[in-house]
Structure 1
Amino acid sequence: MASFTPSTASTARASELREALASRVVVADGAMGTMLQAQDPSMEDFEQLEGCNEVLNVTRPDIVRSVHEAYFSVGVDCVETNTFGANLAALGEYDIPERIFELSEAGARVARETADDFTARDGRTRWVLGSVGPGTKLPTLGHAPYTALRDAYQQNVEGLVTGGADAVLVETTQDLLQTKASVIGARRALEALGADLPLLVQVTVETTGTMLLGSEIGAALTALEPLGIDMIGLNCATGPAEMSEHLRYLSRHARTRVSAMPNAGLPVLGRDGAHYPLTPAELADAHETFVREYGLSLVGGCCGTTPEHLRQVVERVRDMQPTERQPRPEPGAASLYQTVPFRQDTSYLAIG
C-alpha cells in the first residue's frame, strides 16, 4: 500500500456527497463493460489477458475515460470505477492477484481525473464511486476462505481510495458472507488510510425473489445494516419491475438510505444474442416511481443501460425531492435465508 493522507478536497467531496444523498436524488452511471468492449480493445491492450477489463485502466486509460465522459456528458452526478473485477477471485483467474491494489488505484485515478475535468468546466461537483465487485467465489459454499477474500477486498478499497474515490460501492453481491467480507475489508481500508467515505452496498436479488444462495431481502438488511453502512439497495439481475417489492421492503424498514441500479429489463435472446428491452423512457419512468414511492436517494443503471438511458433518468429525477421515508426498523436475527423479528407471540422465544 502506498502512503496516503486524505486531502482537504477529498474530505470535502465526501461530505458534499453525504449531503446530496440526504437532500436530493443523486444519479449514477450505467453499464461499463459493454461500452469498453464496443471499442474493440486488442489482445495487446489486455496484456494477453482477454476480457480482463481492469487491465485497461493501465494500458488504455483513454478507452476507460471515454466511457466516463459519455456518462458525465449526459448529466450524471457520479460514475463507477472500472474495477468490478479487481478482486482476489476475478484477478486470481488471470493469475494476477498481486495487482489488486495497482489496478484499483489506476481505475479510481482515471475516473477522478475525468470527474475533475467536468467539475472544472462548470463548478458542479462530480463524484467517483469505487466499484467493489463480488468476484466468482462464494465463501458460504466453501469456494474461498472468508479471511482471504476480506483481506483482498481491503487491498481493493485501499487502491480505490488512494486513486481518488469519493465513496465505496460494494455491488452485485450474491452471498451474504461475501458481502460481509467486502464491507469489513472496506472498513479496514478506510481505517488504515484515515479516510471517512460513504460505504454503499447493493445486493443482487434474482428473479426467484432471493439472492443467489436463497437469502431474502430482509435477511440481507438484518445482516448488513449493523455493519454501519450508509446505504443499502439493489442492482443487476433484473429490471426495475422485479425490484419493486424488495425496494418497498427496504423503504419501510431500512434505517439507511436506499438505492437502485437495475438492468434495462430482463435479457431477451434473439438471433444476435441477448439484448435488454427496457427503453430509456421506461427506465426514467421506473426511477421516478421509485423516488416518489420509496424515497430512493441514489439511482442509476446496470447491464444494458446506456448514456441515453441515464440522460432521460437525469432529466426526470434531477429536480425531484425524494419522498420522506419514515422507516419502521424491525429488530431481529437473520439466518442465511430469512430474518426473524424479535416478536414474541407466545411466552417462549428460542434463538439457536
Structure 2
Amino acid sequence: MKALNLYHTEDLRYEDTSSPQIMAADDVIIKVVATGICGSDISRYKKLGPYQTGMTFGHEFSGIVESIGSQVTHVQIGDAVTGCPAIVCHACEQCEKGNYSRCAQLFVIGSYQPGCFAEYVKLSASNVLKLPENVDFDAAAMVEPSAVVAHGFYRTSMKPGATVAIMGCGSIGLLAIQWSKIFGAANIIAIDIDSHKLDIAQTFGADYVINSKNENLDAAIARIPFNIDVAVESAGSPFTIGQVLTLPTKGGEVLLLGIPYSDIEMERIHFEKILRNELNVIGSWNGLSAPFPGEEWSATLHYMSTGDIKVAPMISDRLELKKGPETFDAIVHKKKHFDKVMFYP
C-alpha cells in the first residue's frame, strides 16, 4: 500500500509499505477514507515528538472496515468507522482507575505504531467506533480532536449561562467554541491574531471576536459587559499561556488545551492572577475516559449527528495523500496559508 512515512526531521516520504494484517482476534483493519493533519503532526515532523524511523505517520482518520479478527462483533466489514488513535496499557494504576488519558505508557498511532496516513490502518476493536449514518467521513476524521476538547470541558465546573473566552482559533479553538455552546455558554468570546480565523469563529457562534494583534486585549475585554467564567487556551503559544490568565473573573477557571513546543516564561503579573484571583487552572491531556475510549467519543458522534458540531468550514484543503511531503513542507515553511488539511488516500 501507499503511505506517508517519516524518516527524520522534515523527511516525509510517500512510498510503498507493507499493508497491515490480521494478527489478533480483536484486530480491525480499516481502509482510510479521510485523514487530517494535526498540530502535533507538524511538531513531530520537525522532530519535536517521538517516532520510530520510517514510521507511517498520522492519527486522525475515518474509513471503512476492510477485515476483522474472529472476536470482533461490534463492527462488520463495510461499516463506516472512526478510530481512537490512543494506545494505552490498560494495566497501570491510572488505567485501572479508568483515567486512560493519564496512562503511564500512552502514545498515539503514527509514533510507535503505524498511523493512518496510508491506504489502510489497523487498530484493536476497542479503539474503533461505528459512525452514525448522517456523519460523513470528513467530520469523522475530526472526532479525535473534538474528543480532546470535550475531555477538557468535562474537567471544568462550567454551568449553563457561563461566559467563555477562547484564545486561539485553530481547529481546537473552533471546536472549543462549539463545545462551549453544547455545555450551555450564554456568551462566547473568540480571540486570535488572524482575522480569517475569527471570521470562521463567528460562523460557529462566537458572540464577540477580538483580534489581539490589532487592538489592546485588556481594553477589548473591558468593553464586553460580562465577566468571563472560563478561559480556554487553545493556541499553545508561550505568549498566550500567560495572557489567558488575565481573562477570567475572580474565582474563574482556565482550561489549558494548547500544547507548547518551547519553554514557557511567564510574567509575574500573569502568574499573580492565579494567586490574587484564586483561579482554578486545569490541565487537560488527550480525550479518554471510561469505558474506553470514553464519553468524549460517544458525545462527539452524537453532536456531529445532530449538527451541533460542524467541521466543514475548518477544512481549507482536500488533497491526495501523495501531496503529503510538499504539503508538510509548505506548512512548516509558511509557503501558503492553511486551515485544516484533509488527505484522501
- The alignment's TM-score, normalised by the length of structure 2, stands at 0.30
- The alignment's TM-score, normalised by the length of structure 1, stands at 0.30
Greater helix share, structure number: 1
